[in-house]
């Protein structure tokens, strides 16, 4: 039996979990505290140390190592964080700094990779296929990200950006992306991107959940156009992953992953781009672990 410790470092909260693991896992303790990123990098390190101390106190246990889910990626060459939307983390030697503070070795992976790993080993994928060769985990919400698991192992890649489909070019109409490029997947069909598109076509603003409702009620042509944009661009974008990696399963997390029509209309659009005579056998699944996936995946590292 193993005791696994994981920390999910988010923009607004930091969650820690201690798991008991053998053939399955049991949560011994979970706890969250605010990130308070506005107070800067050193404060985030202090918050993590505080959280670990709280978990030690609550469990009476001491970790040998801790897995971390982070909002960006560790650059293998510079050993600094990059691509974090919590921008004060970028350029920081986070792994070295937190290891010194905690006095422990840590393992790190991007949050989307942790999501994919957790759903593969203990989530929806394990319920369907206990030994998949390849799983692609998608997060579609405020941003768009992805994580790749091959033979139960996270693939971070030479540059630490394995699975990052959200910053591939998909269509110039997405406009400028914070990453410095134009027309990234994230700028086209993240939740905020679709809301911007609706506003640009209708002249009025509407939240994504209301756009979905209007689409289903079939009383708003711009809502229908916006949703069709989601389906068509998703099909085109996910085809890039299917054609290169050909995973058995794609798990779709984030707010947009709750849209049932995506699994029908989005997959129908994929048929136009897959290199398989328009035949799609990939399983597209909703996640099972909810917002637990990040911290569980971190522990499983």
Q: What pLDDT, in 10s, does the model give residues 227-260?
A: 999 999 999 999 999 999 999 999 999 999 999 9
In this predicted structure, what is the pLDDT of residue 272?
A: 95
In this predicted structure, what is the pLDDT of residue 166?
A: 94
Whole-number percent of the chain with pLDDT over 90: 89
Q: Which of 30, 36, 78, 102 lies closest to 289 in space, CA to CA?
A: 30
Provide mean pLDDT across the span 69-76: 92
Dihedral of CA 210/216/217/223: which sign?
Answer: positive
- 87 three-state secondary structure: helix
Q: Give the residue, 26 or 226, on which the prediction is more confident.
A: 226
Query: Where do we find the tokens 């009383």?
Result: 219
Provide mean pLDDT across the span 118-146: 93
Measured CA to CA, the distance from residue 59 to residue 110 in angstroms comes to 27
In this predicted structure, what is the pLDDT of residue 284?
A: 98
Radius of gyration over every alpha carbon of the chain, rounded to an integer in angstroms: 20
Statement: residue 217 has pLDDT above 80 = yes
Q: Give the residue, 286 or 129, on which the prediction is more confident.
A: 286
**Average model confidence (pLDDT) for the chain?**
95
- 139 three-state secondary structure: strand
Measured CA to CA, the distance from residue 13 to residue 32 in angstroms comes to 7
Contact 269, 231 (CB under 8 A): yes
Statement: residue 23 has pLDDT above 80 = no
Q: In what order do the strands lie in the sheet with 2-9?
A: 25-34, 13-21, 2-9, 66-70, 106-110
Statement: residue 24 has pLDDT above 80 = no
Task: Please report which confidence band the pLDDT of residue 129 belongs to, taking 50, 70 and 90 as the band edges.
Answer: confident
In this predicted structure, what is the pLDDT of residue 25?
A: 79
């Amino acid at each position: 039996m193993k005791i696994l410790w994981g920390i999910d470092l988010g923009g607004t909260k930091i969650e820690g979990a201690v798991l008991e693991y053998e053939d399955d896992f049991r949560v011994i303790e979970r706890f969250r505290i605010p990130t308070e990123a506005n107070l800067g990098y050193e404060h985030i390190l202090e918050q993590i140390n505080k959280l670990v101390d709280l978990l030690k106190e609550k469990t009476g246990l001491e970790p040998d190592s801790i897995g971390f889910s982070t909002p960006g990626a560790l650059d293998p060459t510079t050993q600094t964080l990059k691509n974090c939307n919590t921008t004060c983390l970028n350029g920081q030697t986070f792994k070295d700094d937190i290891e010194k503070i905690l006095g422990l070795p840590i393992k790190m992976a991007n949050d989307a990779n942790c999501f994919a790993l957790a759903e593969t080993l203990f989530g929806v994928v394990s319920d369907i296929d206990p030994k998949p060769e390849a799983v692609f985990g998608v997060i579609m919400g405020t941003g768009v990200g992805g994580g790749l698991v091959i033979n139960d192992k996270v693939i971070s890649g030479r540059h630490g950006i394995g699975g990052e489909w959200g910053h591939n070019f998909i269509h110039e109409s997405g406009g400028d992306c914070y990453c410095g490029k134009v027309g990234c997947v994230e700028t086209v069909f993240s939740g905020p991107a679709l809301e911007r598109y609706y506003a640009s076509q209708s002249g009025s603003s509407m939240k994504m959940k209301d756009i979905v409702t209007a689409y289903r009620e079939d009383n708003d042509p711009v809502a229908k156009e916006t949703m069709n944009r989601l389906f068509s661009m998703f099909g085109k974008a996910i085809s890039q992953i299917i054609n290169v990696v050909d995973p058995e399963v794609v798990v779709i997390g984030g707010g947009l992953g709750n849209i049932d029509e995506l699994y029908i209309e989005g997959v129908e659009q994929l048929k136009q781009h897959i290199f398989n005579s328009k035949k799609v056998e990939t399983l597209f699944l909703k996640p099972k672990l909810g917002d637990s996936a990040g911290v569980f995946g971190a522990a499983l590292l």
